[in-house]
Chains A and B, each alone.
Chain A
Amino acid sequence: MSLEAAINLSIPELLRVLSEKLGQECTRVREIPLPPVLASIATLEVEVSNYTFGQSLSKATVTVSNGQPFQIESLEARVQDVLKLIPSLRNLLQPVNRLLPETLSRIARLTVNEDAIDTGSIVPLTHVCRYWRESIVSTPGNWTLVSSERFGLAGLSMERCLAVPLELGWTCPRSERIQGSLL
């Protein structure tokens, strides 16, 4: 089912389709911890299963089994939020994202060659998707290589590397080195 078609469904139908679809796909990636988006869908599903649709739909309200009124607009907004997260979810289900966070971090560290002065080569990997970003950023060992030549990245790295021993490169500015070599 396309996203456009899904948006035209009624909320209960949409939630039923979503939960079925996501439920099936999620069983394929049991190894991956339940991400926030799935958790919120699961919560939503529980809430909706508790609704009893009364005759007051024209007032845009439904009666919840425990007697609390619930605004359809609010529910709709939350579904829209969930829909926006579908691309992230789709990324998560890609085979490459079944890699464990430790493996992703290991790969990230391999991008730093022997002559590298800092972890600049890792940064683009954190822009690929949320899962990669969380996996790579949350591994302190990825951020131990720090250089005075890139002040901004140095600060970020020191923040992320926590208590892992630092590899610090400290050099004078390039302009001074060039000047020194000419003298």
Chain B
Amino acid sequence: MSQVRENPGFSAMITPHTQNIGTLRIDCISIEELAQTFPDFPRSMPNLRSFSFSPSLRLNHDLSTDPFEAFTPALTHLSLEFLPLYPSLLCLRMLTDLTIRNGPFFDIHLDTFLDFLEGNRALERANLDIRLKLPFLQNLRGRDPFTNRLKTLSISSNAAGASALISRIALQRGATLEVSCDGGAKLSDILSVASGVAHLPNLREATFMEYHPDHRTFRLVGPNGTFSFSLANGRGNPFSEFHLLHLTHVRAFHFVRREVVRNPAENPDRPSPNEFLPSSFPALETLAIEREIHTPILFAAIFSNPPTPPSLKIIAFLDCQLDDGFLEALTQYASNRKNTTSAPLHHVVIVNSKGDLPRFASIGALGRHVPVVDVRIGEKLPTDLI
């Protein structure tokens, strides 16, 4: 396309201000149009600090030639979609924010990419949606995880690419690591590599865990860092792999369904509930469940062994299906627990947005063994619980 599609008046309007552009966000404009509107780009923009480009590409577009000349070294924010990391970009050294959404176009050797990340020592946020092909992962020279100033590292990739990256980027304490895997990956795939996840030592003190089964996502939060993991393709179930994580300090677990589904057949992709295994959470004090209809399955292991988890004091339900049978089992659990050395159950919260609450008699029976039974109509659990 030789002519600028956009209102030509706009191009004429911005041309006199070219030198004054500090942030440039381009969406759905071709590389040719960019070059036509801003000749000598990016040299013509000496004040450019932030560049975001999501070009419109034709199917036969040749991406092998670097369309840019040297960027100003002071560029701090870079966001690219469907474009390779051209040599003109690999020279950048002052980045604080980097976003790459490349899909199948990421054909750079991992060593080169890690050098690029390591070279940008001020980098604070990196959002990498890339697929690393086998040739670019092979012959990776042995290198230790490099330290950095990243506060947030988000990786969306196949398991091989994700594990290769997170095993070589040692996040600082307090940083957030977000990993989203596709291609039938499992948590064990990224944890089983020899060097493991370089951020995991920061997560040993994690005190809070949130699990969204419908999104196949969990989040582990502690004073020294956060780790979230999700399976993007709608398969697998990270719940069954929690034992791979260091959960000995987790005091609160929050299980969150997206919505109440009465008939699981209506949503076959919805993962079936798992038994909550208290042995994985020896320090658990608060267990909060949202929108689960199979609560008996979830609590089966807990009810069968009243002393566990030994520190459990609070159980909270939001919009869960709590029939008389379940309430009776919960009452029995609270009663049996008083006869053990474990902490007695102190607080049960039942919230329902539609007023679908247990019978008064069931609540009364529970109240004889639990000092505080808080039953209310509402949309959310009390914030001090979670």
Q: Which residues from chain A sit less than 8 Å from chain B, CB to CB?
A: 144, 146, 148, 151, 154-155, 158, 163-173, 176-177, 180
Contacts and interface: CB of A to CB of B under 8 A. Distances in A.
Given A158-B17, A173-B5, A148 B10 contact: yes
Contact of B28 (A144, A151, A163, A176): A176
A166 B17 contact: yes
A173 to B, nearest CB: 7
A71 B250 CA distance: 88
Contact of B29 (A146, A164, A171): A171
A34 B71 CA distance: 48
Interface residues of B, number: 23
B56 interface: yes
Given A165-B47, A172-B6, 7 more contacts: A151-B13, A164-B20, A166-B20, A168-B17, A169-B25, A171-B27, A172-B27
Contacts of A176: 5, 28
Interface in B14-57: 14, 17, 20-29, 37, 47, 49-50, 56
B303 to A, nearest CB: 46
A33 B6 CA distance: 45
A155 B13 CA distance: 7
B56 A170 contact: no
Closest 6 CB pairs of A and B: A165-B22, A167-B23, A172-B28, A171-B27, A169-B25, A148-B10
Contacts of B325: none
Interface string B228-264: 0000000000000000000000000000000000000
Contacts of B56: 172, 180
A157 to B, nearest CB: 10
A6 B354 CA distance: 63
A167 B20 CA distance: 9
Nearest to A145: B23
Contact of A168 (B23, B28, B49): B23
Contacts of B29: 170-172
Given A163-B20, A165-B47, A180-B56, A170 B13 contact: no
A144 to B, nearest CB: 8
B5 A166 contact: no
A161 to B, nearest CB: 8
Contacts of B13: 151, 154-155, 158
A172 B4 CA distance: 10
A169 B50 CA distance: 11
B7 interface: yes
A155 B11 CA distance: 11
Contact of A165 (B10, B21, B27): B21
A148 B7 contact: yes
A170 B37 CA distance: 11
A180 B9 CA distance: 23
